[in-house]
Structure 1
Amino acid sequence: MTEPTARVDSSLPRSSARRSAATQDDAHENAQDQRPAAPHGRHSAPTQPISTVPVDLGIIQPRRRLGVSDLRVFPVALSGNVFGWTTDDAQTFDVLDTYLNVGGNFLDTADSYTDGASERLIGQWMRSRRSRDDVVLATKVGKNRDNPGLTPWAMERAVDASLKRLGTDRIDLLYLHIDDTEVAFERTLLGVDRLIRSGKVRWFGGSDHSGNRLYEARIASGMLGIAPMVALQNQYSLVHRAEYERDLAKVAAQQRLAVMPRFALASGFLSGKYRTKADIKGHRRGSEVAKLLSKRNLRILAELDRIASLHAAPVAAVSLAWLLAKPNVVAPVASATSPQQVVELAEAARVQLTRHEVAELDRVSS
């Protein structure tokens, strides 16, 4: 019997993200993607250790296998979309330290987040903490203004630039950040395969790809004898279910793709922080969150409140736990701007919803 995609492997310690010996021998969004780069020289790494929030989630932390790859990751991926934008250097290091401290090992960024500042900060943190082998590192290419698109040439330049900013010799999981319809898909896939064969990239996945495109990718990988996609990152949450469940869930199941939902907390709405128009005053995405203040979505929050009280857990953790209960979902992607927010996200790893609780959340969000 084949191993389920989202099987929890609690026998592996944090360092399980290290490459296998065989691999060592061989190797948020649109609004944020165009943010101006931070001034040159701003991103110097803090020289002193940053304090972290101690959390007891158990000595051995849960790990989930990422599709058919050999990667095993913490059930919540930490997004770097706010690094260098709404969090400065010290805050970023504090968030990353806390995530590692609570057992996290899955970092998600992109070459376009704050024009590469996110990657630079993560790279400085990994060097400072000597933590590269303790994390599974995912980044995305296709939207950076210096190397736009998904031609083989653009991707190679983009990956080389990412590796330099991250200060590493390999990317564990590379996402195609866009579906570049101006480039023959076979060319893009052959370009990714070349990056994998060179050892610069270990595995790859899609982002914002339709079900039909995922089928095309699988057929092409079989016909051309190239590396297949192993992961998918699309919007999916309690308030945004239709797109994924209508088109992509079936494809993910058929192809054993590991699903990493982004916008997993719907710009913070599913953390329970925003319930009235007064709550969103001054929020950087106030207009987006305001659209979520519907009767249906407030009913979702009410049910989340009820379940969270039963589990003595934060509302955000229950929202992520609902995703983790879905087939093929491996690790929702969420961002944090403070250590306390990291702790709340990490709580999703211990929350085990009952079938009835999942069904009730399904019902109120349908």
Structure 2
Amino acid sequence: MSPEHTTPPRRQIGTTGIGVFPYGIDGSVFGWTAGFEAAIDVLDEFHGAGGTLISTADHYAGGRSEVMIGAWLARQPERERLVLATKIGRHPDTPGLSARSIRAAVDNSLERLRTGYLDLLSFDGDHPETPLEESLTAVADLMASGKVRHLAVSDFSGARLIEARAVAGSLGLPFPEAVFAEYNLMERGHFEAEIGPIARTQQLGVVARLPLASGYLRGDFRTRDDQPSSPMFAGAVRYIGRRGNKVLRTLETISHEVGQNIGRVAIAWVLSKPGISAVVIHAKDGPALLDVMPATELHLTRQQLARLDRVTD
């Protein structure tokens, strides 16, 4: 491994006992903006740089994301060194979080991913039509069979997360040990006011999604004339304006100070926050991945972090 790919230390995901390198891959681009060869290239570059956490969902590209990851995973001699996470609840063939849907969704994901177990299974969004007891009991059965190691949630409200932990505790069922949540310089309010405090109190691991705000914090979108190449990055357009420009200017100033590009600085800000285990990054090809993975573990000063905090309050 070359010096510019110096591997950062592992971080623990809550109380799971799973250690990961702080940069993970977000598989939502696979099968959509990234074809098979590009996906393999990204995963090879990621693994070669020391990456371990691969995050996807059963509904991404209708399941093609999992298929592509599975094709790559089948070539890897040491599956146990990787941390594989997938989300269920939104695939049209297995919607919701009923026991039947959960069992079928996990079996389908394992088949597509060509693996015998999932390190992290996430409930993808709240599905209140199914009692939490039913969903958590189904997960308990999957854990007993060895198909699932740990439970996580994604896009849960703070109240629903607390309820899930309470139901699990009262019935002796598996409880969420990690949270996948959107968190970046442009989207701070919900996480910092609601999810973050619960995660810290409950010792949950946090994996931050969209740390680059759909590509906006790479600096790719400066004016309304800068149109995204894919609908996947359309969310970046809403940040164009006075506030967004101030954030980009501050990032650029700090990037010159530290000698790293603004995307890396934006990610370093997320990773500086208490309780953040990792970020998961969109990358449509190898160069896009290497553009944001830091050359070394990037630590911003207190003053630099404070300036980013102020400009995005």
TM-score for both structures, normalised by structure 2: 0.96
| 8 A contact 1:55–1:102 mirrored in 2 | no
* 1:266-313 CA-partner distances (Å, limit 9, x unpaired): 110011111122222645356532221021111111111111111111
Q: Report 1:227-306 matches (<5 A).
A: 227-280=174-227, 282-285=229-232, 287-306=234-253
Matched, 1:97 2:54: no
Count how many residue pairs are aligned between Structure 1 and Structure 2: 313
Q: Is the 8 A contact 1:65 1:71 kept in 2?
A: yes
* Structure 2 equivalent of residue 161 of structure 1: 108
- 5+ residue gaps, structure 2, are none
Contact 1:76 1:349 in 2 (8 A): no
- CA shift at 1:355, angstroms? 1.1
| 1:97-136 alignment runs, 5 A limit | 97-136=44-83
2:115 aligned with 1:139, yes or no? no
**Superposed displacement of residue 342, structure 1:** 1.2
In structure 1, the residue matched to 2:162 is 215
Which of the pair is proportionally richer in strand? 2
Q: Is the 8 A contact 2:42 2:285 kept in 1?
A: yes
Counterparts of 1:348 and 1:260 in 2: how far apart (Å)? Answer: 21
User: What secondary structure is seen at the aligned counterpart in 1 of 2:85?
Assistant: strand
4+ residue segments displaced more than 6 Å: none
Unpaired runs of 5+ residues, structure 1, are 1-52
**One-letter identity of the residue aligned with 2:247:** I
Shifted more, 275-284 versus 323-332: the winner is: 275-284
Identity of aligned pairs, percent?
A: 37
Q: Which residue of 2 aligns with 1:24?
A: none
Aligned with residue 356 of structure 1, among 299, 303, 306: 303
1:88 matches 2:29: no
Say whether residues 1:202 and 2:164 are aligned partners.
no
2:132 aligned partner: 185
Offset from partner CA, 1:182-241 (integer Å, 9 cap, x none): 011121111112211211000011111111111111211211112221110121110011
Q: Offset of 1:361 from its aligned partner?
A: 0.4
Greater alpha carbon shift after TM alignment, 300-309 vs 126-135:
126-135
Q: Could you tell me how far apart the structure 2 residues matched to 1:281 and 1:89 are?
A: 21
**Preserved contact between residue 55 and residue 101 of structure 1 (Cα < 8 Å):** no
Q: Give the aligned partner of residue 29 of structure 1.
A: none
1:160-196 Cα deviation digits (max 9, x unpaired): 0000001000000011012101011121111112211
Q: 1:281 and 1:229, CA in 2 relative to 1: closer, same or farther beyond 3 A? A: closer
- The alignment's C-alpha RMSD in Å is 1.6
**Cα deviation 1:60-79 (Å, max 9, x = unaligned):** 54210110011111101110
**What TM-score, normalized to structure 1?**
0.82
Counterpart CA distance in 2 for 1:54 and 1:131 is 21
Decide which structure has greater helix share: 2
> Is residue 323 of structure 1 aligned with residue 270 of structure 2?
yes
Letter in 1 for 2:275: N
